[in-house]
Structure 1
Amino acid sequence: MITRTLARAGLAAGGALALGLVLAGPASAHVTIRPDVDTAGSYAKITVRVPNESDTAGTVQVKLDLPADTPIPSVRVQPHAGWTAELTTTQFPEPVQVGDRTLEEAVTAVTWTAEPGVRIGPGEFDEFAISVGPLPDAGTYLFPATQTYDDGEIVAWAEETVEGQEEPDRPAPVLEVVEAPAEDEVDTVADEEPAADSESGSDAEAASADGTDDDGSDGLARGVGIAGLVVGAAGLGIGAAALRRRNA
């Protein structure tokens, strides 16, 4: 009876999980970027994941806008077979100070366009990568994206997600930039980690102890074997002497 009850509970839980996955599927089919959290001042490889949401058309162009108010000094595109990438560079009315760099222009958008015969078809997704850095100061930054289908439909992923409110239908990809840990914090973490030498020493001692035991066991076995040979030889000698006396 208990087994049957547990089985029913398992089926119910499995059904609820499956239903949850089905309901969550469409909501998660957004254009997103990974990682969505990184460290200020660092260089990052940002991957743009583009799912195709149309049942009949294919995605043939993807545009990613970079933060214009806080420009990123270096933007490089990873080659992607079947697609060409175009960088949009913006000239600033006045030089912009970013860290220790003074920028008069910066890349503010990257556009990937499919070559003839290439597309992200229904039920498919693709990923496009860029290398950017150094990342701006800590904060939340939007990377609006535009997805173009081969039937002419254009979908803008540009709505801002507000904490505490429902997610919008077309949320913009977001990058959360956090402060890098202070050097003293890094040193503290390093001091708290177990020393590799002491661990190695323990392993070495254990190995040495094992080796000593093995050597002792081998020595005992050899001693027993030699004693057995001696006893056997003595037995053969006694037997031979007895045979000679019988024959005499």
Structure 2
Amino acid sequence: MRLSPRNRLAAATALGAAAVLLIAGPASAHVTVQPSSVPKNATDQTFAFRVPNEDDKNSTVKVEIDFPTDHPIPSALVAPVPGWTDTIQTTKLATPIHTDDGDITDVVSQIVWTGGQIAPGHYQDFTVDLGALPDGTDKVVFKALQTYSDGNIVRWIDEARDGQPEPKNPAPVLKLTAATADGDSAASGAKAEPSAKADQSAKAEPSSQTATTAAKSSSDSTARALGIAGIVVGVLGAAAGVVLGRRGRRADGSNASA
């Protein structure tokens, strides 16, 4: 049977769309720290933990961020989020951190937000100003627990490993790059302006960021997956056109001989 050019194009498009679903389907938004990378000597240490709601029916009602103890962060200031109550937990170090201002023995171990809601299809930024970035490491791995209104808890605690696929529930990771000559300018992308962000959030919607879907908060891995999907679509579409074209020519040849 001979396929018209229109039918050939439709078949190629359908094949390409199926490839996109296969590749992009498993990728989903997860809890991240924004920005995800700063120089080690960055002087602006304001970050936002972005929490998307991936449940179609239930709201997120509790967010817990666990801080590392192997590379501790001495202190943190939390920007208020309308509708949410924050609690900072600290822990005592076995070996104090020596600074020019004296020894630090107590460091941040956990920050918990409760009382608010992140509705399905929305996300919320929880802004924190870190007192100082840790030394002796090129990354800071946080662990996040996201509790839904039905009691389900999603644990974003798995650390990605080089050369291995991204885990299902990756932990938020802040990468610390090489120090720059000007820490301020290098870290300008990290500025989140806690008070301004809180004011904007209060004017927009108390419980969550509005007019934004969870798809918009997709991770870098999602973007990479979609980019690969685009390449696959083009390849498969071209291949499908060639195959269908050959079939059409065979069919023409058969009809002519008949």
Q: Whose helix fraction is larger, Structure 1's or Structure 2's? A: 1
Q: TM-score, normalised by structure 1?
A: 0.62
How far apart are the structure 1 equivalents of 2:102 and 2:9? 61
Contact 2:41 2:180 (C-alpha < 8 Å) held by counterparts: no
How far apart are the structure 2 equivalents of 1:157 and 1:99? 35
Aligned residue runs from structure 1 range 104-143, under 5 A: 104-114=105-115, 118-137=116-135, 138-143=137-142
Q: What amino acid is aligned across from residue 108 of structure 2 in structure 1?
A: V
How far apart are the structure 1 equivalents of 2:46 and 2:134? 15
Q: CA deviation at 1:144?
A: 0.6
Q: What amino acid is aligned across from residue 121 of structure 2 in structure 1?
A: G
In structure 2, the residue matched to 1:159 is 158
Contact 1:33 1:174 (C-alpha < 8 Å) held by counterparts: yes
How far apart are the structure 2 equivalents of 1:112 and 1:165? 32
Three-state SS of the structure 2 residue aligned to 1:106 is strand
User: In structure 2, do the counterparts of structure 1 residues 67 and 99 end up closer, same or farther at CA, with 3 Å as the change threshold?
Assistant: farther
Alignment gaps of 5+ in structure 2:
186-258
In structure 2, the residue matched to 1:172 is 171
What RMSD, in angstroms, separates the aligned Cα atoms of the two structures? Answer: 3.1
User: In structure 2, do the counterparts of structure 1 residues 70 and 21 end up closer, same or farther at CA, with 3 Å as the change threshold?
Assistant: same
Three-state SS of the structure 1 residue aligned to 2:175 is strand
Which is bigger in relative contact order (C-alpha 8 A, separation at least 6)? 2
Larger Cα-atom Rg: 1
Contact 1:41 1:136 (C-alpha < 8 Å) held by counterparts: no
Aligned residue runs from structure 1 range 141-220, under 5 A: 141-182=140-181
Q: CA deviation at 1:21?
A: 6.9
Q: CA deviation at 1:17?
A: 7.0
For residues 187-207 of structure 1, the C-alpha deviation after alignment (integer angstroms, 9 at most, x for no partner) is xxxxxxxxxxxxxxxxxxxxx
How far apart are the structure 1 equivalents of 2:172 and 2:162? 14
Aligned residue runs from structure 1 range 1-248, under 5 A: 16=16, 20=20, 23-24=23-24, 27-42=27-42, 43-97=44-98, 102-114=103-115, 118-137=116-135, 138-182=137-181
Q: What amino acid is aligned across from residue 132 of structure 1 in structure 2?
A: L
In structure 1, the residue matched to 2:214 is none
Q: CA deviation at 1:102?
A: 2.4
How far apart are the structure 2 equivalents of 1:62 and 1:112? 5
How far apart are the structure 2 equivalents of 1:60 and 1:147? 8
How far apart are the structure 1 equivalents of 2:100 and 2:13? 52
How far apart are the structure 2 equivalents of 1:37 and 1:104? 27
How far apart are the structure 1 equivalents of 2:19 and 2:99? 48
User: In structure 2, do the counterparts of structure 1 residues 165 and 98 end up closer, same or farther at CA, with 3 Å as the change threshold?
Assistant: farther
Contact 1:136 1:177 (C-alpha < 8 Å) held by counterparts: no
User: In structure 2, do the counterparts of structure 1 residues 101 and 162 end up closer, same or farther at CA, with 3 Å as the change threshold?
Assistant: farther
Alignment gaps of 5+ in structure 1:
187-248
Contact 1:41 1:133 (C-alpha < 8 Å) held by counterparts: no
Contact 2:66 2:143 (C-alpha < 8 Å) held by counterparts: yes
Contact 1:40 1:134 (C-alpha < 8 Å) held by counterparts: no
User: In structure 2, do the counterparts of structure 1 residues 56 and 69 end up closer, same or farther at CA, with 3 Å as the change threshold?
Assistant: same
Q: Percent of aligned positions with the same letter in both sequences? A: 41
How far apart are the structure 1 equivalents of 2:139 and 2:160? 11
